[in-house]
Amino acid sequence: MRHTWVSAAIILGLAATWLSIGPMSSAQHGARSHVATELVGYPPPLPQPYRPPPVVTIGVYDNYFLPASMNVAPGTLVRWDNLGRHHHTVTFPGGSDSGELPPGIPYALTFPRPGVYHYYCRFHGVQMRGMIVVGF
């Protein structure tokens, strides 16, 4: 009986030692612990499904943009459709320019960054102006 208690105490002591230092030191199996480090976070996150960017359309008429002002989220694709009977442009001062857009020809730009973007038509700029507000 006394022998059993001594054995149990020895086993408990060994178990406590094992738990405190681990089954092997890291130097003993460095390669294995390197692999284990790489597997942290396994399984890897699932790939996100492709989500097309939001798209909005602005009408280009003779001689105005409709709507003249539009708020969009970052990453939105903005498309201008020339629904008028004349040629127009979508021109951002110091930036993109659609060139001359004949009737029926669209132009599109993506707005990745927040900000306020003013544009106009080079042929009718006095009255034909627009603004894209890209939200934060």
Residues 35-74 that bind Cu ion (CB under 5 A): 63
Rounded Cα gap, residues 84 and 52, in angstroms: 29
Q: Are 100 and 93 in contact (CB under 8 A)?
A: no
70 or 86: whose CB is closer to Cu ion? 86
- Segment interacting with Cu ion, rule: CB under 5 A, options 16-24, 34-42, 69-77, 119-127: 119-127
Residues in the chain: 136
- C-beta of 67: minimal distance to Cu ion in Å? 16
Q: Would the CA dihedral through 30, 31, 33, 37 be positive or negative?
A: positive
User: What is the smallest separation between the CB atom of 60 and Cu ion, expressed in angstroms?
Assistant: 7
Q: Which is nearer to Cu ion, 79 or 124 (CB)?
A: 124
